[in-house]
Chains A and B, each alone.
Chain A
Amino acid sequence: MKKICLKLLLFIALTGIAQAETVFVTLEKDNALAVVDPVEGKLIKTLAIGRRPRGIAISPDNKFLYIAASDDNTIKIVDAETLKELGKLPSGDDPETFALNPAGDRIYVSNEDDSLITVIDVDRKKVIKQIKVGVEPEGITVSPDNRWIVSATETTNMVHWIDAKTNTIVENTLVDPRPRAVGFTADSRQLWVTSEMAGTLMILDAKSKQIIKNIRFDISGVTADKIQPVGVVIDKERSRGYVALGPANRVAVINAQTFEIEKYLLVGQRVWNLAFSPDQKRLYTTNGISNDISIIDLDSQTVTKSIGVGTYPWGVAVKP
């Protein structure tokens, strides 16, 4: 009996190790979702998920995946465990990027062609409102304190501050050309905005809504036109922020206190989107052209592995 118990314990311990986090990657060209075990460094499987899947997010309780199937004009709800499709959300036309609020009951979608932000009630699967914003909205985020929804419009070159209570634009900030992605610090005090065309990262103060720091990226041996900042994430302690630099094939590591660029990490080709592991010990990058994701170990600040996932990996979400 004792032996069986021990064996059982060992089994549980081993499966506990094996059941580490799972990384989900949308494959824009393959119309599929890749499921990766990042600890083993293996692609587990890919499954069909609708046409041109791009934006992806996981619900705060880690039960549901939301995947924007751009050419199906919908956001799919997928069970994060069984990967079965549970339903669809009315996203408006051509959803690419979207953001969940901290409670997970609202989704804000950028409808690039219509210059709209669609606000969805997740539980009722209904559109509550469509907010008119500047031309070509792309980056979108909700502040962790659920006060602001920020939308960046690529052609208007603005970030729009939308009050989460009233769903109306309160203020606009002019930023560098082609703002692509936006991200708040965990304390909701700063907004980080990347400009694809200027090759810069702007730090905005959430109170004054003004740019307090503008950081230009410069990599020796890489021409400026290749440096196109896109995805941006900041760790919980606000010690470091990370910016994906597109065709420069690098992720910039930025000291989030001094705003100095500490390092550039070489990853796959045309890196766009980033996601932390739940313990924030690793960072995952989607590399659109080299068809892989790279894993960055954040303790050692090194790229440990790149894993082939399929054609045009776009978005990434992590389930603990």
Chain B
Amino acid sequence: MNILHYWRAMWGIIGRELRRFITQRERFISALVRPLIWLFVFAAGFRSALGIAISPPYETYILYEVYITPGLIGMIQLFNGMQSSLSMVYDREMGSMRILMVCPLPRWFLLLSKLLAGTAVSILQVYVFLGVAWLYEIQAPWQGYLWVLPALMLSGMMLGALGLLLSSFIKQLENFAGVMNFVIFPMFFMSTALYPLWKIRESSALLYNLAQYNPFSQAVELIRFALYGQFNREAFIYTLVAFAVFMAAAIIGYNPSKGMMTGKGGA
């Protein structure tokens, strides 16, 4: 097995995922509509026309829609991570997972490729979203649009790994609604995506702690800082560790002899 095999397999998986995303126009639009509704409708209600107090990485006063933008980028990646895990469950039910798994490459590599594919799709969505936000006068310094790419890769991988881990638990497609209620919503709302930490602290110390240690918060902060050309080391390490933990657990989860797959009859 040489490196070329790995390369070909990885591009096969990524290519399939990207092609699937681009040809499914409804999926593309719906993936974009969700954060845009949050931006145009939700953020408009909370506009705080007189400006939000300065907190890093911002160097001056901002409007709420500027604050919420990195949070919505995180939301795109969170939903995308969950969506790709959903497609894993679907693939398993439809049997196409079997085809993937018979590939004579290590399982972890196939999962990683799957993850990369999902992340690539989410990054595509994020840049389109950032483009629309730019037209809406939510504009970061141009360097930020480059710096945000590695941040998006890491945060996308972390959230994708979480999705993979969850998909290893889910037996049937119908159970996915549970993931929505028990994972996506709590993760999203108990984070710095919608409100700054100091604001959460004003209402509840417990919520403040939950939000602070929520890996989704850290991913959002990593994106937020990167978008303004700054590197948030703490958020980077936290997100990286979270990725490693989720990924390791997902690999174990997908191992037929040890993991959650036993007795599921899948893969």
Q: Which residues of A contact B (CB under 8 A)?
A: 41, 219-222, 226, 247-249, 266-269, 290, 294-295, 302-306
Task: Evaluate contact between B50 and A269: CB separation under 8 angstroms.
Answer: yes
Residue B51 interfacial (CB < 8 Å): yes
CA distance A290 to B59 in the complex (A): 14
CA distance A248 to B51 in the complex (A): 10
Give the number of A-B contacts (CB < 8 Å): 41
Residue B205 interfacial (CB < 8 Å): no
| 8 Å CB contact of A306 from B49, B59, B63, B139 | B59
Chain B residues with CB under 8 Å of A267's CB are 51, 60-61
CA distance A266 to B139 in the complex (A): 14
Task: Evaluate contact between A219 and B49: CB separation under 8 angstroms.
Answer: yes
User: Min CB distance, A271 to chain B, in Å?
Assistant: 10
Q: Can you name the residue of chain A whose Cβ is closest to the Cβ of B66?
A: A266
Binary A-proximity of B48-62 (CB < 8 A = 1, otherwise 0): 011100100001111
Of B61, B62, B63, most buried by chain A (CB within 10 Å of CB) is B61
Q: Which residues of B contact A (CB under 8 A)?
A: 47, 49-51, 54, 59-63, 139
Task: Evaluate contact between B59 and A266: CB separation under 8 angstroms.
Answer: no
Task: Evaluate contact between A249 and B51: CB separation under 8 angstroms.
Answer: yes
Q: Can you name the residue of chain A whose Cβ is closest to the Cβ of B49?
A: A221
Chain A residues with CB under 8 Å of B63's CB are 266
A interface, by DSSP: helix, strand, loop or mixed?
A: loop
Task: Evaluate contact between B49 and A305: CB separation under 8 angstroms.
Answer: no
Task: Evaluate contact between A222 and B59: CB separation under 8 angstroms.
Answer: no
CA distance A306 to B60 in the complex (A): 5
Chain A residues with CB under 8 Å of B59's CB are 41, 304-306
User: Min CB distance, B237 to chain A, in Å?
Assistant: 28
Excluding A267-B51, A268-B61, 14 further A-B contacts by CB distance (< 8 Å) are: A221-B47, A226-B50, A249-B51, A266-B60, A266-B61, A266-B62, A290-B61, A295-B60, A302-B139, A303-B60, A304-B59, A305-B59, A305-B60, A306-B61
CA distance A220 to B61 in the complex (A): 17
CA distance A6 to B234 in the complex (A): 41
Of A294, A304, A306, most buried by chain B (CB within 10 Å of CB) is A306
Instruction: List, sorted by A's number, 29 A–B pairs whose CB atoms are closer than 8 Å.
Output: A220-B49, A221-B47, A221-B49, A222-B49, A222-B50, A226-B50, A247-B50, A248-B50, A249-B50, A249-B51, A249-B61, A266-B60, A266-B61, A266-B62, A266-B63, A267-B51, A267-B60, A268-B51, A268-B60, A268-B61, A269-B51, A294-B60, A294-B61, A302-B139, A305-B59, A305-B60, A306-B54, A306-B59, A306-B61
CA distance A247 to B49 in the complex (A): 11
User: Min CB distance, A292 to chain B, in Å?
Assistant: 8
Chain A residues with CB under 8 Å of B62's CB are 266
Chain B residues with CB under 8 Å of A269's CB are 50-51
